[in-house]
Structure 1
Amino acid sequence: MRLSSMADYAVVAMSAAARHCGSTRVSATQLAEETGLPIPTVQKLVSLLSAAGLLHSVRGVKGGLQLARPAAAISLADIVEAVEGPIALTACVESSRHDCALEKSCTVRPHWPIVNEALRGALADVPLSRLARLEPAPMEQPA
């Protein structure tokens, strides 16, 4: 599985926005400059992330963008879903999709929701506050 470029860019942009958390608001232009993303891409991401309730936009002289909630309360899953929609490895788990030739005889289909929930859970366990650190945290050792 691989994230789309837009989902990847959304994580990059949100991480940059999180580094401004608690200080001044940041503009889309500033996010583009800090991340190296094209301004039109950042503007599209701002729209998607705002619609998902992850970013808040304030107009005016002291306006700009800010996280809609603390970085620790925003997960990697939240960001990916804002751009990609629900996290799923296969399309067959969507009740409206019936384009698989194996649908009627597939014995694996009932198990995909379990896999998808495990994947979503793993992404939900990664807070934006961790992704926004300039230095990566050391890998946790299993107990």
Structure 2
Amino acid sequence: MLRMSKLADYGTVIMTAMARDPDAVHSASSIATATGVARPTVSKVLKVLTRGGVVESLRGTNGGYLLPRPPGRITLAEVIAAVDGPIGMTECSTTPGLCIQEAACAVRANWQKINRLIYEALQQVTLADMAGPALRAVDISAIRARSIPSRRAGAMPASRSTDGGHA
């Protein structure tokens, strides 16, 4: 399974909460309350995000954390990279020379293409998008009710068997 780290996931949750009130200075406690993430975890992630440059830290009695840019100018790719490092599906997608099979690898170019596509997709989603209203559920009953004209009613495709494809 391909997935980002739990800390990167928390990073997106924390920064999305901050993006809902982008001009405020946020405390770790207020973010923990807003997100339901434990305060020690919020503090840890905020430190990592600050080191990664996607969050600013203010010291003092009125200190806390704030976004360095408007939410529409901070992408998920930046947030994930700040926590996990360069986004890469495979080691050779981000750092050449780590794999001994790299020079003769028949699939390396395809993994690099997949990596670029995922990175570009993450670059297109901003914190403003994440902080916006959730996507509505789609009513798929109309799609299911539609028949596909090229198939005869009741006929199963030739590639399927009635036992689920098991011999």
The number of equivalent residue pairs is 135
Match of 1:50 in 2: 50
Q: Structure 1: any 5+ residue segments left out of the alignment? A: none
Which has more radius of gyration?
Answer: 2
Match of 1:72 in 2: 72
Q: TM-score, normalised by structure 2?
A: 0.74
Q: Distance in 1 between matches of 2:125 and 2:7?
A: 19
* Residues 77 and 124 in structure 1, CA contact (< 8 A), matched pair in contact too: yes
Q: Structure 2: any 5+ residue segments left out of the alignment? A: 138-167
Identity %: 37
Q: Deviations over 1:61-118 (max 9, x none)?
A: 22211101110000011111111111111113322412x5x43432111332222111
Structure 1 runs of 4+ aligned residues shifted over 6 Å read: none
Match of 2:107 in 1: 108
Match of 1:117 in 2: 116
State the structure with bigger RCO (CA 8 A, min sep 6), 1 or 2.
1
Q: Distance in 2 between matches of 1:58 and 1:5?
A: 26
Indicate which of 134, 137, 151 corresponds to 1:136. 134
Q: Distance in 2 between matches of 1:103 and 1:120?
A: 21
Instruction: Quote the offset at 1:26 in angstroms.
Output: 0.9
Q: Deviations over 1:115-135 (max 9, x none)?
A: 2111100011001001012x2
Q: TM-score, normalised by structure 1?
A: 0.85
Instruction: Quote the offset at 1:137 in angstroms.
Output: 4.4
